Amino acid sequence: MTAQPSGTTTLLRDALLADGRRVDVLLRDGLVDAVTPAAARPTGTARTADRSFGGAGSPAAGHVVDLDGRLLLPAPAEVHAHLDKALTAADVPNPDGDLMGAVTAWLRHRPTRSRDDITAAARAALLACLAHGATALRTHADLGDDIGLRGLEALLAVRDAEAARCDVQLVAFAATPLTGPAGARNRDLLEQALAAGADAVGACPGLDPDPAACVRLCLELAEAHGVGVDLHVDEWLHPAPCSLELLADAVLATGFEHPVLAGHCVSLGMMAPDRAAQLAERVARAGITVACLPQTNLYLQGRDHEHAVPRGLTALRILRAAGVTVAAGGDNLQDPFNILGRGDPLETAALLVLAGHDDPATAYGAVSSQARQAMGLPAVAVAPGAPAELLAIRAGSVREALATATADRVVVHAGRVVARTAVHRHFPDEPQMGRTA
């Protein structure tokens, strides 16, 4: 977490909590210091603009932010992004619209991108996520002989530049193949990326000629560097290869102690329930967290089905019933893998409700508390002692927040406001109700 200067104090006035209470929330030194009933206002008192309180140098000096009844929530986190690909949809068409079409299009385009190109687009995408409330973000960074460490270096620069506003984690995403003689250069780049400051080992074992060896190699390399692994797992509808099974078996066999995150796990949702439940229990025993990525997988999967098109999501209920932590993320943002997207965790949560049949509270938990747990971040709550990572949105409930996804938001990171968007709606020449000619 970003360190806060000693004595930094912010008062969030008149917040609505999810349980219906109206409260004032005092933030101090990056933590929630106190939550008290909202102070009563005399009848007719106008809302005040944000202001400071206390004098310069005063122990009580700070800032008042009037939330005016906005819903105050633990801030979401983006658990799976590709900032080095973001905002390239107009330049990298994917006529087939499927996964391999996207991969082919991207590999053709990737060598043309400069570090400056990647930096500018990645920063714009990160700020979009931040404005929507994500005060922590994990992004994969492509490695490969055609791009070297250029993408990783760009994302490291963005991470450093935006450290005061957002906690950013980088996954070194190895090129395929990673195993055998043909993978030597890719293994070397992965080692270099970890030495340069990447936070986790990434790869797509199911595309490697030897998926089991790829999983083992990732775990061994991560163990040597003292970091976790974050793998792209089974991003397809067919049952084989089942990288999730290979990953669970390898973690259990080796006793790997660092965090393990499996993204996508699409084919698990296509398995017979008994088979999926057995695998989910092994995933739970291995302590693997699963990241469901509904937007990109709804876009990519099922295009070869003429009817009864599958939704392309992992087995949410089966995983949770087995005790697996299930987070959710936005994945790709306006690139050949997903030509849409706003960088909004509420959009991800809404898709869990619509396509995954989650209730709104569970869906929001997947992009907030479970996402932060998957990233190894402290739990966040609107409660004393919790990290002051908060999102205030103009809504009366979590359901309404997901339904409207209004841009009217106030975002707090490490105890201070880092993004604010106001919405003004005006209907000119609105007719007066009951007025006669």
Is 1 domain-assigned? no
Same domain, 168 and 249: yes
DSSP state for residue 38 in the 8-state scheme: P
Please report where in the chains the tokens 């990519």 appear, as a residue: 300
Average pLDDT, stretch 88-102? Answer: 97
User: Does residue 7 surpass a pLDDT of 80?
Assistant: no
Confirm if 333 and 66 have CB atoms less than 8 A apart. no
| CATH number of the domain within which 357 lies | 3.20.20.140
pLDDT, residue 239, reads: 87
> What tens digit of pLDDT does each residue of 127-175 get?
999 999 999 999 999 999 999 999 999 999 999 999 999 999 999 999 9
| CATH number of the domain within which 69 lies | 2.30.40.10
Same domain, 203 and 292: yes
291: Cβ–Cβ under 8 A, 6 or more apart, which residues? 79, 80, 261, 262, 263, 264, 326, 327, 328, 329, 371, 374
Containing domain of residue 404, as a range? 9-74+382-421
> What tens digit of pLDDT does each residue of 114-125 get?
999 999 999 999
> What tens digit of pLDDT does each residue of 341-377 get?
999 999 999 999 999 999 999 999 999 999 999 999 9
pLDDT, residue 126, reads: 98
Same domain, 415 and 351: no
Is 22 domain-assigned? yes
Distance CA 159, CA 182 (A): 32
pLDDT, residue 57, reads: 44
pLDDT, residue 56, reads: 45
Distance CA 403, CA 289 (A): 27
Same domain, 271 and 387: no
Percent share of the chain, pLDDT over 70 = 92
Distance CA 198, CA 116 (A): 19
Same domain, 28 and 122: no
Is 108 domain-assigned? yes
User: Does residue 62 surpass a pLDDT of 90?
Assistant: no
Name which residue leads in pLDDT, 185 or 433: 185
Percent share of the chain, pLDDT over 90 = 89
Average pLDDT, stretch 308-332? Answer: 97
pLDDT, residue 5, reads: 47
Distance CA 234, CA 204 (A): 8
Distance CA 36, CA 14 (A): 10
Least confident of 56-70, 129-143, 299-313, 375-389: 56-70
How many domains does the chain contain in total?
2
Is 435 domain-assigned? no
Is 18 domain-assigned? yes
425: Cβ–Cβ under 8 A, 6 or more apart, which residues? none
> 396: how many CB neighbours lie within 10 A of its CB?
13
> 244: how many CB neighbours lie within 10 A of its CB?
29
Is 61 domain-assigned? yes
Same domain, 93 and 241: yes
pLDDT, residue 4, reads: 46
* pTM score: 0.94
Distance CA 316, CA 357 (A): 9
Same domain, 60 and 166: no
Same domain, 389 and 364: no
Is 21 domain-assigned? yes
pLDDT, residue 42, reads: 56
Confirm if 169 and 138 have CB atoms less than 8 A apart. yes
Same domain, 276 and 149: yes
384: Cβ–Cβ under 8 A, 6 or more apart, which residues? 31, 32, 33, 34, 35
pLDDT, residue 431, reads: 74
pLDDT, residue 61, reads: 54
Same domain, 63 and 197: no
Residue ending a domain, choose from 335, 351, 374 = 374
Least confident of 231-235, 314-318, 340-344, 425-429: 425-429
Same domain, 112 and 192: yes
Q: Widest CA span of the chain, in angstroms?
A: 85
Same domain, 86 and 231: yes
Is 30 domain-assigned? yes
Residue 436 pLDDT class (50, 70, 90 cuts)? low
Helices (H) and strands (E) in the chain, counts: 13, 17
> What tens digit of pLDDT does each residue of 392-419 get?
999 999 999 999 999 999 999 999 999 9
DSSP state for residue 148 in the 8-state scheme: B
| Token couple for 154 | 């760009």
